[in-house]
Structure 1
Amino acid sequence: MSKWFCTLLVACATAHAAPGSAPSDDMDKLLADKGLLNQLVEIRHNVAEKAQDKLSQVGQNVASRAHDVVDRTSDLVVTAMGFLGVPYRRGGNSAESGFDCSGFVRAMYQQTVGLMLPRRADQQAASTQVIDKKELQPGDLVFFNTMRRAFSHVGIYVGDGKFIHSPRSGSEVRVESMQTAYWARRFDGARRVAEDGADASPSKP
């Protein structure tokens, strides 16, 4: 067998062997890619589960806080209603002495929520969260200009467009509609006391 022929056989064998090795390389690559894909799927699944757990936890926290807010505002309104008929007294802040408008609001929040709001109506407006009138909920504060200056009168919203307050000398704690001409013309804005008290100070035992 000539040297040339032997060389040709080796070359042909090499040429036929090369294509046979390609499927093995492709398979290894495919298996490697599949392993990576499985890892990515597992990671995605774990992330999704953690995200779902977090959302569930957040939802439970929100529901719990909402329930606490409802309880708090219900207690506040019910307590305030218990003082209907208490006479107005300038500077008063108790049922025994009588209430002025801001003294009434301050006493209700102290007794039911444990927060000591500022003494004057304008200070209460400045230390609480501004909300739109459409957002009013029972327990929120409503302010009026009754003395030719902003935020000179305050009451507690009780729902259905009504509020409870201690109006003026010679009157007593009562519920009135915000839609009456007098109050509608003098409405100054609505405020909400933050759940954490915002700028209000916790009352001391």
Structure 2
Amino acid sequence: MKKRLTVAAVSFALLFTIGTGSVFADSKLDTAIDGALGSDYVSGGTTTAGFDCSGFTMYVFSKIGIKLPHQSGSQYKMGTAVEKSELIAGDLVFFNTSGKGVSHVGIYVGDGKFAHASSSKGVVISKLSEKYYVQRYVGAKRIMSTDKYEDVTGDVAEHDDVQ
């Protein structure tokens, strides 16, 4: 019951967080992320029964036909580097949470926010502007081609001005 209430609360919050203002509302990408919100954190997890950070990104991208490795450092080696001010929904954002290089990954959802599997909160939406993430931000990578982006979002790629 507690998990259902949490999922309902997170889903409701998502409507106000990325809902109609999202560049990919009701898209394949949005549906995949929405379906995972509220899932528990499980080290090594790759399903809605529980995710770790790279398992979450791997799961979401598999839903849109893109294969990612199950390790944030390996995911960081993929794609094209993107400046923070050029982020678009679907870009991967990376953090150094361990002090030993890339150790956390999430998916940018627009409006300065990203979805990720937090070890303390499970799958949630957080703000890139939160002090914890600002201090640990490493960079971002664009995994999707422009054509793939338009296919999974139904939108033309436009970046947000995130500082």
TM-score for the superposition, normalised by structure 2: 0.71
Q: Is the 8 A contact 2:78 2:141 kept in 1?
A: no
- For the pair 1:190 / 2:140, whether they are aligned, the reply is yes
1:89 matched to 2:42: yes
Partner of 2:30: 77
Matched, 1:155 2:106: yes
For 1:30-179, list aligned pairs within 5 A. Answer: 74-96=27-49, 98-111=50-63, 113-168=64-119, 170-179=120-129
Q: How far apart, CA to CA, are the structure 1 residues paired with 2:108 and 2:133?
A: 13
Matching residue's letter, 1:104: F
The structure where helix makes up a greater share of residues is: 1
Residue deviations 1:57-104, cap 9 Å, x none? xxxxxxxxxxxxx77x942133202211100000000012x0000000
CA-to-aligned-CA distance 1:33-72 (integer Å, 9 cap, x gap):
xxxxxxxxxxxxxxxxxxxxxxxxxxxxxxxxxxxxx77x
Structure 1, gaps ≥5 residues long:
1-69, 198-205
Using the alignment, how far apart are the partners of 2:70 and 2:60 within structure 1?
12
Which 4+ residue blocks in structure 1 deviate beyond 2 angstroms? 194-197
Q: Say which one has the larger Rg.
A: 1
**TM-score, length basis structure 1:** 0.57
Residues in 2 aligned to 1:157 and 1:77: alpha-carbon distance in whole angstroms: 11
2: CA distance, partners of 1:82 / 1:159: 18
In the alignment, the residues of structure 2 paired with residue 86 and residue 152 of structure 1 have an alpha-carbon distance, to the nearest angstrom, of: 20
**In 2, distance between residues paired with 1:146 and 1:192?**
21
Alignment length, in residue pairs?
A: 125
**SS where residue 173 of structure 1 aligns?**
strand
RMSD: 2.1
Name structure 2 gaps, 5 residues minimum: 1-22, 149-163
Q: Give the structure, 1 or 2, with the largest relative contact order (CA under 8 Å, sep 6 or more).
A: 2
How much does 1:167 deviate? 1.1
Deviations 1:149-181 (A, max 9, x none): 22110000001100010011x421000101011
For residue 143 of structure 1, give the secondary structure of its aligned residue in structure 2: strand
